[in-house]
Amino acid sequence: MSDITQRLIHLAVVLAIAVTLRFVLILLIRRTVRILLSRESEGSTDLGVRAQSILAKAGGLSVERQRQRVTTLGSLLRNVVDVVIIAVTLLTVLAIFGIPMAPLLASAGVGGVALGFGAQSLVKDYLSGIFMLAEDQFGVGDLITIGDTRGTVLEVSLRVTKLRDPMGTVWYVRNGEILTVGNVSQGFSAVFVDVPVAIDEDPEKVTQVLRAAVSGMQEEPAWAEVLLEEPSVVGVDSMSGGTMVMNIALKTGPNQQWGVMRAVRQRAQRALGEAGIRGPILYPAPPQ
């Protein structure tokens, strides 16, 4: 009887814990959803709230889309909590009364292995997302390069990063697949403009002509804000076939090099033409 009593006490304890845990978790989910919906969470300090405020700051979600997503996730989470708590409680009660669990747990283990392994890339995505956010590798509006994809960050969530590439395509990249990421919007952009001329022109004369053509660009109002340094003619880059290629180095604000490159190319072309310097000799060169 003492045994029976003990089992009944165990039963009561397990049920109490299960009910309490479910109550606390459901409450936590409800509250998180409410806070996420009202966005009044800046001052609060407990963990759950902090996590979602990080999440909210990270992504620039449109309000209605986020509201909808939050509600769906909340109801999904509540259902998962219910199913898991009921199942575990039931099994524990059976175990309290001495019914052997080994066959059931072994059978469930097969599903568990599949589920655990299948979910591993999901967990990897979330962990990568958390660390990427914590390390502040990029933010909304940055131009970044991930593998073959380059675009402006639209949204950073814990699982995926959303980019828009220059062609207008929106890319969703799973965070766990981001092994290397390049952020173009930090600091500056440096480029070389290639200027091809005939291989038998005098390199020093060409250098002087080009230098004259681009000097003073940094003072011009059109380029003052874009150029970080005066463009510099660095000399002969390569000689092959009938072509000698001269290099002009530019340093601009992040991703602002495109307009300057076009302007420099246009000025160089005009200056070379005026100085009578011939373009590349158009015989085919040995292929490489």
- Map the footprint of its own copies across residues 178-237, applying CB under 8 A: 179-184, 186-191, 196, 199-200, 203-204, 234-237
Contacting its own copies (CB under 8 A), which of 49, 55, 160, 214? 160
Long-range contacts for 134-137 (Cβ within 8 Å, ≥24 apart)?
A: 137/181, 137/183
252 φψ region: left (φ > 0), alpha (ψ -120 to 50), beta (else): beta
Residues 9-28 that bind its own copies (CB under 8 A): 10, 13-14, 17
E strand or H helix at 82, and its extent? Answer: helix 63-96
Question: Is 30 an interacting residue with respect to its own copies (CB under 8 A)?
Answer: no
What is the DSSP secondary structure assignment for residue 227, as one 8-state letter?
B
Contacting its own copies (CB under 8 A), which of 22, 67, 211, 265? 265
Closer Cβ to its own copies, 177 or 230, answer by number: 177
Nearest to 56 by CA among 195, 191, 158, 159: 158
Supply 11's token pair: 């039963």
Contacting its own copies (CB under 8 A), which of 15, 24, 212, 282? 282
Question: Is 254 an interacting residue with respect to its own copies (CB under 8 A)?
Answer: yes
One-letter identity of residue 81: V
Instruction: Decide if 145 contacts 184 (C-beta within 8 A).
Output: yes
Q: How far is the CB of 51 from its own copies (least distance, A)?
A: 9
Contacting its own copies (CB under 8 A), which of 127, 212, 222, 224? 127
Closer Cβ to its own copies, 100 or 221, answer by number: 100
Nearest to 156 by CA among 145, 141, 167: 141
Closer Cβ to its own copies, 113 or 212, answer by number: 113
Question: Is 141 an interacting residue with respect to its own copies (CB under 8 A)?
Answer: no
Sign of CA dihedral 160, 161, 166, 168: positive
Supply 145's token pair: 């390069």
Closer Cβ to its own copies, 166 or 221, answer by number: 166
For residues 33 and 31, give the distance between their C-alpha atoms in angstroms, rounded to a whole number. Answer: 5
Closer Cβ to its own copies, 20 or 215, answer by number: 20
- The size of the interface with its own copies (CB under 8 A), counted in residues, is 127
Question: Is 63 an interacting residue with respect to its own copies (CB under 8 A)?
Answer: no
Contacting its own copies (CB under 8 A), which of 177, 211, 230, 275? 177
Q: How far is the CB of 185 from its own copies (least distance, A)?
A: 9
The residues, ordered by sequence, that sit 6+ positions from 6 with a Cβ below 8 Å of its Cβ are: none
Closer Cβ to its own copies, 94 or 224, answer by number: 94
Instruction: Decide if 148 contacts 179 (C-beta within 8 A).
Output: no
Binding letters toward its own copies, positions 94-123, x by CB under 8 A: xxxxxxxxxxxxxxxxxxxxxxxxxxxxxx
